[in-house]
Amino acid sequence: MGRRKSGRKIDGVILVDKPLGASSNQILQKVRWIFNANKAGHTGALDPLASGMLPVCFGNSTKFAQYSLDADKTYQVTAKLGIRTTTSDADGEVVSEQPVDVSKAQLDEALNLFRGDIKQVPSMFSALKHEGKPLYYYARQGITIERPARAITIYKLTLDEFTGTEVSMTVHCSKGTYIRSLVDDLGQELGCGAYVTRLHRTDVAGYSGLPMFTPEYLESLKGEDNFAALDALKLPVDAPIVHLPQVQISEADAARFLHGQPITCEQAETSDVRVYNESQFLGVAQVDNGKLQPKRLVS
């Protein structure tokens, strides 16, 4: 028999403002300790050199974390022109240095090539898996793996500031977008190279405009046996899926639904939906041929 996990059985989501320097897993473990949570997971890692929104899910909310992983995201990024590195950020070794002679008009023209539906080759220093290991595992050994270009969407790409050698942008993009690769590709298009000097995630779809909290602030609220101040900051268990349509079912149907049985539904469109009995959240179902097929259930 496995060892039972210790800690509080809590549900919900906390939006952490991840600092520079720490890994996403380090921040996850610290936040889990602060809340004394039995179960926790994050939805989409940020590199140690990246900061910003890191949703941490507790308990039942971890069952719906995939919806946040699949969501579009928004970043603020600053790129340094004239230098290309192995990792496309300040951590890498310099590959080439070129003089920078880029006008605002040339930059605008180049940026326009990266708006909308495009193809992108993932960085060798990404966490994308190859034969069970992340690409960066091979990159650190000097091994290059062939990576097919993947379809992504840049919904919005805004030029915030251009100094002649530095470019600051806001990027609203689909899942699977690598901002470092985007900056490297932009540098290649401009003919001078570029790498990321600052990367900050401002939004994960579904959490737009909601406050984020630093680990230091959360720790300042930690009490020995009183977690009321911390728990008041959590979003509800269904926070990762508020963008899904909502369906109400009766109490009798709720009992069957929670036992994994399909329920008759008037919803015609085939999609994932949030299922409730009055204010009680029950889980996610897939609408299929007039039936609610249970997909993820709340314990």
Which residues does the annotation mark as catalytic?
47
Q: Compute the 3-state secondary structure of the chain and give helix, strand, coil in percent, each to the nearest 5.
A: 25, 35, 40
Q: Among 256, 255, 266, 257, which Cα is nearest to 289's?
A: 266
Token pair 């403002």 is found at 17
- Residue 131, Cβ neighbours under 10 Å: how many? 7
Q: Among 94, 84, 87, 1, which Cα is nearest to 48's?
A: 87
Phi, psi at 176, each rounded to 5°: 85, 0
Alpha-carbon distance of 80 to 194, in angstroms, equals: 5
- Residue 129, Cβ neighbours under 10 Å: how many? 10
Report residue 3 as tokens: 């060892």
List of residues 6+ apart from 37 with CB closer than 8 A = 7, 8, 10, 31, 58, 59
Determine the number of helices (DSSP H) and then strands (DSSP E) in the chain.
8, 17
Indicate the residue type of 98: Q
What angle in degrees, to the nearest 10, is found between the helix axes of 104-112 and 179-190? 130
* Residue 235 per-residue DSSP state: B
Please say whether the beta carbons of 8 and 36 come within 8 A: yes
Q: Among 76, 65, 71, which Cα is nearest to 28's?
A: 65
